[in-house]
Amino acid sequence: MSEKPHIMLPMGVARYPALHMPDTKFVEFGEYKADVVVPAEKAKPIMKKLQEVAKEHTGKPLAKSKNSCWEAVIDDDGEETGEIMFKVRVKNKMSRKTGKLWDRRPMVIDGQKNPISTDVAVGGGSKLKVQAEIDAWEAANKRGVSLRPLIVQVVDLKTWQKGDLDAFDEIDDDYGEDQSGDYDDNQYGDDDDY
């Protein structure tokens, strides 16, 4: 396969995305992730297409419930939920020639096709449409098929943060108001004392 085909995944719910910066937990130079969970019925046509590519490239089909392109979503009781998670990931690489990092961040856009800044942390639960490249790869006498994100459209943004802001009440006399006059610059001694 000379030109790698593109495929549009059905709109799905993001699962542990890494789009504003690469995830470096298991990959040295980082990995961008646009994994999406979709109902199995909507996933079937995509799974069929990926199976065709896998059979042509490797000579055998992908495993049905878990493979390099998708896995069945399992609940806390170990039962399948009727959903499929497409694994859409791309690893950054270091150029052997130049020694520079090849940052492979996919284009991330909003509903009006405007680019989304890397300052925006797209979180789990966001609704995404993902255009992916079907990568039929070969390395070290192995062959496989995987999905790489090309363009990710954020349809419903859920940002992630630590903690719960709803646990706090609004306070009338807060720190943000002018507190001048109450602070003594020398109450802890001179800087020379340290």
Three-state secondary structure string covering 60-111: CCCCCCECCCEEEEECCCCCEEEEEEECEEEECEECCCCCCEECCCCEEECC
The model's pTM:
0.79
Say if 55 falls within a structural domain: yes
Say if 63 falls within a structural domain: yes
Q: Which CATH number characterizes residue 114's domain?
A: 2.40.50.140
The number of folded domains in the chain is 1
Do 145 and 132 meet the contact criterion of CB atoms below 8 Å apart?
A: no
Say if 1 falls within a structural domain: no
Say if 15 falls within a structural domain: yes
Residue whose tokens read 């990926």: 50
Do 92 and 31 meet the contact criterion of CB atoms below 8 Å apart?
A: yes
Going residue by residue through the chain (194 aa), what tens digit of pLDDT does each one get? 458 899 999 999 999 999 999 999 999 899 999 999 999 999 999 999 999 999 999 999 999 889 999 999 999 999 999 999 999 999 998 888 888 988 899 999 999 999 999 999 999 999 999 999 999 999 888 999 999 999 999 999 998 766 777 788 888 765 555 555 555 555 555 555 54
Say if 59 falls within a structural domain: yes
Q: Which of 68, 67, 70 is nearest to 15 (CA)?
A: 70
Measure CA 70 to chain center.
Answer: 14
CA 44 – CA 184 distance, rounded (Å) = 68
Which of the 8 DSSP states describes residue 122?
B
CA 171 – CA 176 distance, rounded (Å) = 10
Say if 152 falls within a structural domain: yes
Identify the domain containing residue 150 by its residue range.
6-163
Per the document, the length of the chain is 194
Measure Cα distances from 122 to 17, 42, 55, 119, 125 in Å. 7, 23, 34, 9, 9
Say if 180 falls within a structural domain: no
Say if 119 falls within a structural domain: yes
